[in-house]
Amino acid sequence: MKKIFNTILLSFCFLVLNSCSLSQKTANDKSLKFSIQAGANTGGITENTDMSAVPGAEAPSDANVDAFSGATRMGVNVGVHVNKPLKHNEVETGIDYMYNEQTFTYADAGNMYIGVRELKVSQVMIPLTYNFVLFRKLLPGADIQLKIGYLGQINFITTSKTGILPEYSINRWSNGATFGISAFPFQFEKGDKLGFYFDSYRGTQIYKDFYNQTSFEMPGSSFIKFGFKYQFK
């Protein structure tokens, strides 16, 4: 399965890079819309916050402190996308890269886990969405699209720690449902467009440890990302 997925990924990378070349064939292809995007994001690993599900979890005497908690710093994302018109709507795919940093804090005297784990989370993502083009007659130039579909993630995570912490494992592959919106309110003389995007996602588990077990409901992957998008004529 891993070899098959790697082959598909490499083939898709080649397709996108080749599509972005300045060949006359690509320049004259009016059936595809190519764009680049960049922005900010929050999310990555979604950690468990329900300590009642953790056997023997005991927080310090301070009621505001959990036995395990997480914090996520704002990150960055970039991407290359291609849209294919399909009757009145469109299909969109591409390759995105997303990075953020997360901190997991352990303060569980009962299980003798006390310390901090820092995580640097890099994700290569492949979305595939069906886009509903909205307000085609009212705002034809704005190209407002509602996106619903699937997204796969390849996860590259490095960690560092202080204290006594539980063992953990990382799922290299995660996937789930994505939902978003994009619009292009600005159009230039040559036909290029500048707009924005807002995407959300919820998917399968990436990080596992004593406080984030597979049987728990909350652990998974998720993000919200937004930014500017530039579409070529």
Looking at the chain, the whole-number percentage of residues with pLDDT higher than 70 is: 85
Q: How sure is the predictor about 66, in pLDDT bands with cuts at 50, 70 and 90? A: confident
The pLDDT value given to residue 20: 45
d(CA 80, CA 13): 10
Predicted confidence (pLDDT) at residue 56 exceeds the cutoff of 60: yes
The pLDDT value given to residue 19: 45
The tens digit of pLDDT for each residue in 176-233 reads 999 999 999 999 988 899 999 999 999 999 999 999 999 999 999 999 999 999 999 8
E strand spans, the chain: 33-46, 68-72, 75-86, 89-108, 113-134, 144-164, 169-170, 173-187, 193-203, 207-208, 220-231
Average pLDDT over residues 102-113: 95
The pLDDT value given to residue 135: 85
The pLDDT value given to residue 6: 47
β-strands 68-72, 173-187 pairing: unpaired
CATH architecture, domain 32-231: Beta Barrel (2.40)
